Amino acid sequence: MINFNDAVALAREKSPRLLAIDGLPVSGKSTLAERLERELGATTVYLDDFVLPEGEWRHKVRPGLPFPYIAYDAFVDVVETLAQGQVARYQRYDWSTGRAGAWRVVEPLGLITIEGVSVLNPDLSRLYDLRFWVESDAQTTLAASLSRGVGDWEQEWRELFMPSVALYLETRPQAWADHLVAGRGAAQQSGA
């Protein structure tokens, strides 16, 4: 297992065009993506930008895979478009309103990082030049999520998000990764 410094160094050395960062919620995926943005000038596409408007799923769906609260087809289309070296355009979820928000255009220039739980699924894994799985444990990430102040989202975390993630983990997404990166709780797991 490598650390964040090693992951950044690998990305610098290998110069991938499209890089995936997957792992449990609150494992450190965004932190690693932000480091790649700062240190290598990466552009990041976040799976969380593809959450469906709340009225379409909140209190209406059950845990599932693909995640029933994500505009999955739109997300796959964006990743495929970028993998083909074309400009991608998508409408971001607005967390302040719970609705579709502003449009974003992503140019296929430099390093593009795709970040989120499930970005290493078999539909997409083949498209990336470099794949990271940020290792952590479910207990640590759920506790961190709840301590982060999820407000009225606690029920969704317990009854929808984490059970959906558990379904994804059954597919063994770590096997699609080129490298495991030590994230939240990983040091305790590995005995380091």
Q: What is the mean pLDDT of each run of 10 residues along the chain (192 residues)?
A: 97 97 94 98 98 93 96 97 98 94 97 98 94 86 66 82 94 96 70 38
- The residues facing 89 across adjacent strands are 105
* Contacts for 155 with CB less than 8 Å, ≥ 6 apart: none
pLDDT of residue 93: 96
pLDDT of residue 186: 74
Quick check: 20 and 114 in contact, CB under 8 A?
yes
Domains of the chain and CATH, by start: 4-183 (3.40.50.300)
pLDDT of residue 188: 43
* Rg of the chain taking only CA atoms, in angstroms: 16
pTM across the whole model: 0.92
pLDDT of residue 142: 66
DSSP strand pairing (43-46 vs 112-115): parallel
